[in-house]
Amino acid sequence: MKLHQLVRPEIYKGGKRPSFSAAYARAARRYGFETGRNAGFAKRNNVVVKVKSKHNKDTEHEVPAESIQNAHAHLVASLEYVVPVKIGTPGVTLNLDFDTGSSDLWVWSSELSRASRQSKGHTIYDPTKSSTAKKASGTWNISYGDGSSASGNVYTDTVTVADVVIPGQAIELAEKLSSSFLQDGGNDGLLGLAWPQINTVQPEPVATPVENMINKKLINPPVFTVKLGRGEEAGFYSFGFIDTSVTPNPITYTPVDNSQGFWQVQSTSWTLNGETKERSGNTTILDTGTTLLLVADDVVDAIYGAIEGATFDDQQGGYKYPTNATLPEVSFAVGDTLYKVNPQDIAFGDAGDGYTFGGIQSRGDLDFDIFGDVFLKSVYVVFNQSEKTVGLAQRDD
């Protein structure tokens, strides 16, 4: 059975979360949005900025990469979950972020300077210690809007994810990491689960682990699935296996538009306390690498307008509400099916003075939603790369 348990890094033991402002700023950097009515963060001149207030969209200050890192929201994934992956022969086990919003498999490696390798006790991959490692052509470079970056060269080696053994998998070895990465102790790299065309290896992109699993017929059915947990229960990924014990509710499949490299689907309606509201032509990206649930301003206004005492926090850049407030029932469509967001996930974290930050916030000026972990914790998701579909089932837990 190809179940792969998720693990919480030490910083998230006891159900801790990333800070609200760090999670929101990271989403702005990832998708590069401008503020709109309700987003407290934006990407301007290739840097992430905090805006002054809901009614004054001037830049208050830039958000440096270090502050986002130190607040435990990683540049490329939420860091609430990491997964042990074995690389090489006899092999070393690295804790990697699994990210449905990117397509690189990159790792901390022996190519880094000695000082970098020793940073925060990371496990590193050393190809000279693996009998199956081979140098490959190509280089990679992932850069972010704040000037932070990761880059290096490429090897192939045997990668084991759950009990799926992938021979000859391309692995991107970090030679250089900017300082913001070096201050982060949560993971040893990243395994991208988006579509292959957004892989960054030059001159030719390399096959992702899931692409290789399918092409080499290592999994059947050709799917991976995810159940994100809460608190101490971290959840799992699976490869080539659909766990029907997660929920008694049916899995409903919908077509994916992968033209941008993401798991993008139709989401043309939502409900607030049982009242259905249409959103003609709207789409969303299912992204485990984003913590929040980001939607259009009119949706955000309607949700917080239905919570007594909810207010926009100019200092933190998003909506909050009284911790003892009654939350409305909110659901969002994927394809033709509506999925309810668990109220305990709408409550993102403590905002002080008896308030709680909302996990649903503005997508800024984007023309699509981002369904991050706040949404994904309410569903079991089956990603089918061969058939270009995604299946969701409502969870009752």
| Catalytic residue ranges | 99, 287
Residue 12 token pair: 């998230």
Tokens linked to 14 = 């006891």
Helical residues (DSSP H) of 233-318, grouped into ranges: 297-305
Burial class (CB in 10 A: 0-12, 13-18, 19+), 378: buried
CA distance 223 to 252: 14
The pair phi, psi for residue 199, each rounded to 5°, is: -65, 140
- Among 150, 157, 168, 165, smallest CA distance to 106 is for 150
Residue 175 in contact with residue 105, Cβ under 8 Å?
A: no
**Which H or E run includes 191?**
strand 189-192
Q: What is the DSSP letter of 328?
A: P
| Number of Cβ atoms within 10 Å of the Cβ of 90 | 9
Nearest 10 degrees: CA dihedral of 80, 101, 164, 249? 80
Which one-letter DSSP state was computed for residue 125?
B
Cα separation, 100 vs 288, in Å, equals 5
